[in-house]
Amino acid sequence: MSGIDGKSAGKRESKGGITSAAIILLVVSVAVMLPALGFGDILRGQDALIHARWQAAYAPVFWSGDIFPRWLPDMNKGFGSPVFFIYPPLSQMFAALAYPLAPGTEWTSYRIALSVTVAIFAGAFGTFLWLKNHTASRSAPIWGAIAYTLAPYHLFIDTYFRGAFAEVWSFAPLPFALLAVDHFFHKVHAAFAGLVLSLACAILLHAPSVLITVPVVGLYAALAAWRQRSLAPCLLFLAAAATAMLLCGAYLGTALTQVNMIRSEKLFGGLLVSTKWLLGRNVWPDIPIMVMVIVAAVAQVGVAIDLFRNAVTRERTGLFTSRLTFPLILMIVSVIMTTDISEPLWSLNTPLNRIQFPWRLLSIQALAIAILCAYAIDKANVPATAVGAVAHRSVFFAIGLMLAINAALYIFCIVYGGDSGRVREALIEDTTDAPEYQLGDIKLLEAHFPGNARTLALSGSGDIDVTQWKPRRIELATSSPEEMRVAIRQFAYTGWQYSQDGGPMQDAGILSDDEPVVVISIPPGAHNTVISMPPTKQETVGWMASLGGLLCLAAGTAALARWRPAHTGDIGFGRATQARQN
């Protein structure tokens, strides 16, 4: 596709055209989410219930004044969960924004459904903004954005079948990052800031997807550098990626250093070894997801091949100047890396394995299909001949086929699947977290705390009154004729501390390795005891890194505002855009 220049179609696009496109894409986004918005089927997915439980626990903590909740005290039957020390928080934060309008557990599924609808719209609108700078037809980027939305892996598998809501959100920042790369030789300071923020959002949305998003954006920058015969796009990309990582230091500080403090074997071991999820000879541990992924992969690859077949007949440029280069690489890489061909790579102990499931690379096929659809519908490159008519029909067939496959798979799951979303809403009240975030035997511990008691006198006797129960801070008022040893209904994650009557802090103990709850000692008499989970060194360093990232972002943007690149030509992946046609 063609890049942008001072006379590009993107600059001539009227605000009215952008508004119309936004309305169309919003209608499409709401339409594909109607089963979730209207019938509660957002909870039908495999992982949906865990995300809903997180949201039910996260939103009240967020609105209590903790803008970056890490510890959810009410999860795991009230013993607490360290989930957001490890898991990116931004998707839950977006859903929590609706909490004042839709509070309580009973509205959790609607908050999530609304958030996912916004995510799908954001991804579609970002794709439109990116593609409109590479096409001459006003309708081409809209059709490309619709194709991005309807890709079966994106819409059905991630949204409805798996309920992987953070991964759905990860589709949103990618096109904005590519749009920022397009502007490297035009508004370089804005491009740098936009790329930093896009990559930072990707990091804070879904960690495994970052290992896909960042290389894709890096590839796009490398292709721009090749065409410009300039290292500037690559250097700016590397600077933006480093700044984004610093900016996310508050999250990465704990996520990268505390995985060994949870049950990480539940994340990367056993059935979750990457090589067990490659398409080819072996049957997957989860047969339903295997069937759905095969259907989605065959559909997406088939659509891409048909679009390529039509596109190649009209392409007249070399490989590294062709607008087909970028989507072609994406499709080839995704096919290789999701099949047995790539097993030696997945067998290595590299960051690649943190993607967990190789079939997550089907996400980049959605981007390739969006590009190909926009290219095929682009009137500036489709002559008024039979070839052009075939190209148009190919796009409409591709979009119709993907829509039909999404609908068929959804209906199949309704008929033959498990409980509906409405039935599963009642299960949100069960606050049991994912296995990796269960720090002890919850059933065994519940037996020690009958009636959902928050404290337990292990020795001694007296009165224990809980006067405050907040995330990472608990206050007790006690009165006892003898020393008491008291267990608190919270897992001893990073190490709690306590003090009595304003005295010095001291480390709390744990009940046992198998029952790792907080234990404190209280002397005889009446005392006020404060128990807290203080910030760890990783948290402190992480916040300092985030501050450094903000300073780097501001300094880099200011410095680049003074830079005027010598080359301001096409940095996209194709020829210069022709005059925009109606």
Taking only Cα atoms into account, the Rg of the chain, rounded to an integer number of angstroms, comes to: 26
CA distance 175 to 364: 11
The pLDDT assigned to 14 comes to 60
Amino acid identity of residue 82, one-letter, is P
Burial class (CB in 10 A: 0-12, 13-18, 19+), 525: middle
Measured between alpha carbons, how far is 184 from 356 in angstroms, rounded to an integer?
33
Q: How far apart are CA 444 and CA 344, in angstroms?
A: 42
pLDDT of res. 266: 87
SS3 of residue 576 by DSSP: coil
Query: How confident is the model over 376-397, as a mean pLDDT?
Result: 66
Using one digit for the tens of pLDDT, what is the confidence trace for 392-414?
Answer: 777 888 899 999 999 999 998 88
* CATH code at 441-533: 2.60.220
The per-residue pLDDT for 578 is 40
Q: Integer distance in angstroms from the first to the last C-alpha of the chain?
A: 19
d(CA 532, CA 534): 6
Residues 180, 198: contact at Cβ < 8 Å? yes
Q: How confident is the model at residue 10 (pLDDT cuts 50, 70, 90)?
A: very low
Mean pLDDT, rounded, for 120-138? 94
Short-list 509, 501, 498, 462, CA closest to 482: 462
Residue 578 three-state SS: coil
- Alpha helices (runs of H) in 313-454, residue ranges in sequence order: 325-337, 343-347, 363-377, 386-416, 421-424, 442-448
In the predicted model, is pLDDT for residue 160 greater than 50? yes
* 403-417, 432-446, 513-527, 542-556: the lowest-pLDDT one: 403-417
Order across the sheet with 455-459: list the strands.
Answer: 455-459, 484-491, 517-522, 509-510
Among candidate residues 169, 167, 170, 192, the one with its CA nearest the CA of residue 179? 192
Higher pLDDT, residue 513 or 369: 369
Tell me if 468 sits within 8 A of 477, measured CB to CB.
no
**Distance (Å, whole) CA 119 – CA 381:** 31
What is the maximal distance between C-alpha atoms in the chain? 96
* pLDDT classification of 315: cutoffs 50, 70, 90: low
* pLDDT band per the 50, 70, 90 thresholds, residue 423: low
Q: Report which secondary-structure segment, H or E, holds 296.
A: helix 287-312
Q: What is the mean pLDDT of residues 464-469?
A: 96
Q: Which residues of 346-371 are buried (b: 16+ CB within 10 A; e: fewer)?
A: beeeeebbebbbbbbbbbbbbbbbbb
How many residues are listed for the chain in this entry?
582
Write the pLDDT tens digit of every residue in 247-283.
Answer: 999 999 999 999 999 998 888 888 889 999 999 988 9
Mean pLDDT of the chain: 89
Map residue 519 onto helix, strand or coil: strand
Please, what is the Cα angle at 330 between 325 and 334, to 5 degrees?
A: 150
The boundaries of every CATH 2.60.220 domain in the chain are 441-533
Q: What percent of the chain has pLDDT over 90?
A: 72
Q: What is the mean pLDDT of residues 449-472?
A: 93
Beta strand pairing status for 463-470 and 473-480? antiparallel
The token pair that represents 411 in the structure block: 């209906």
Say how far apart CA 92 and CA 115 lie, in whole Å: 9
The predicted-structure confidence for 324-365, as pLDDT tens digits, reads as follows: 899 999 999 999 999 999 999 999 988 899 999 999 999 999
Confidence grade of residue 386 (pLDDT, cut at 50, 70, 90): low
- Reported as a single tens digit per residue, the pLDDT across 515-540 is 999 999 999 999 999 999 999 999 99
Looking at residues 141-146, what average pLDDT do you find? 96
Q: What is the DSSP string of 30-54?
A: HHHTHHHHHH-GGG-STTHHHHHHH
- The 10s digit of each residue's pLDDT in 27-74 is 999 999 999 988 777 888 889 999 999 999 999 999 999 989 999 999
Q: What would the pLDDT profile of 179-221 be if each residue is shown by its tens digit?
A: 999 998 888 999 999 999 999 999 999 999 999 999 999 999 9
Grouping H, G, I as helix, E, B as strand and the rest as coil, residue 108 is: helix
Instruction: Give residue 451's pLDDT.
Output: 86
Q: For 11-26, how does the pLDDT look when each residue is reduced to its tens digit (9 = 90+)?
A: 544 666 899 999 999 9
Beta pairing class for 484-491 and 497-500: unpaired
C-alpha to C-alpha distance for 419 and 408, rounded to whole angstroms:
18
DSSP 209-276: HHHHHHHHHHHHHHHHHHHHT-SHHHHHHHHHHHHHHHHTHHHHHHHTT-GGGS-THHHHSGGG-GGG
Residues contacting 180, CB < 8 A, separation 6+: 190, 191, 192, 194, 195, 198, 240
In this predicted structure, which of 113-122, 182-191, 371-380, 405-414 has the lowest mean pLDDT? 371-380
Instruction: Give the pLDDT confidence score for residue 229 in this predicted structure.
Output: 87
Which pLDDT score is estimated for 316? 52
Query: Could you tell me how far CA 356 lies from the centroid of its own chain?
Result: 14
pLDDT the model gives residue 422: 65
DSSP state of 562: T
Q: Which residues pair with 519 in a beta bridge?
A: 487, 509
Query: 472 pairs with which residues across the strands?
Result: none
Higher-pLDDT residue of 510, 185: 510
